[in-house]
Amino acid sequence: MCNSFNKRFLDEASKNYNDQDHRDEAEVVTHLTFMTKAVKQAIEGLSKNEGGPFGCIIVKDNKIVGRGHNKVTSTNDPTAHAEVVAIRDACKNLNTFQLNDCILYTSCEPCPMCLGAIYWARPQKVYYACNQNDAANIGFDDAFIYKEIALPQNDRTIPFEQIYRSLGLEAFKAWTDKEDKTAY
């Protein structure tokens, strides 16, 4: 038996449940739309022979503010990965060096370099389509970089050696003493 209180409760619960379903559906459509655009960036780069199969877009307030695809081979720049290109584009378009309140959509899980760039840019969230294993399966294996990072400097494939620390500290002292610096 359903009294008026129970009926109101059930009606309200049903309305809230249906509203949540619509929000979830809209969010899925939005994610699909933006991820599709990131993948299209990757395919655009491939069609122009500009680099590997990676694309990225950056979104703020549901508007694309940055785009990029891999341009490593066309620019002879090993840092011209899709995420870095998109971060540079978004920062230029927004006139800022931090991407607070932005969401990054990328066609593949970021490599270690792009991961670092993403953390420096500070977006709100990152969505990716393919993962590290998918990339490795087509010849883009970053596992060795992750292993290198964990090694002591003397054991890395590319030797790292600290020299002239006191000289380098002069720039750090100048930064510390600088009164009109923009901290980040």
List phi, psi (to 5°) of 63. Answer: -125, 140
Bridge partner residues of 56 (DSSP): 68, 106
Where is 139: in which H helix or E strand? none
**Could you tell me the CA-to-CA distances from 172 to 121, 175, 176 in Å, in that order?**
22, 5, 6
Parallel, antiparallel, or unpaired for β 125-130 and 55-60?
Answer: unpaired
Parallel, antiparallel, or unpaired for β 102-108 and 125-130?
Answer: parallel
List phi, psi (to 5°) of 11. Answer: -65, -45
Q: 3-state class of 33 per DSSP?
A: helix
d(CA 41, CA 62): 18
Active-site pick, 12, 83, 148, 179: 83
83 noted as active-site residue: yes
Compute how many other C-beta atoms are within 10 angstroms of the C-beta atom of residue 115: 15
Catalytic positions are: 83
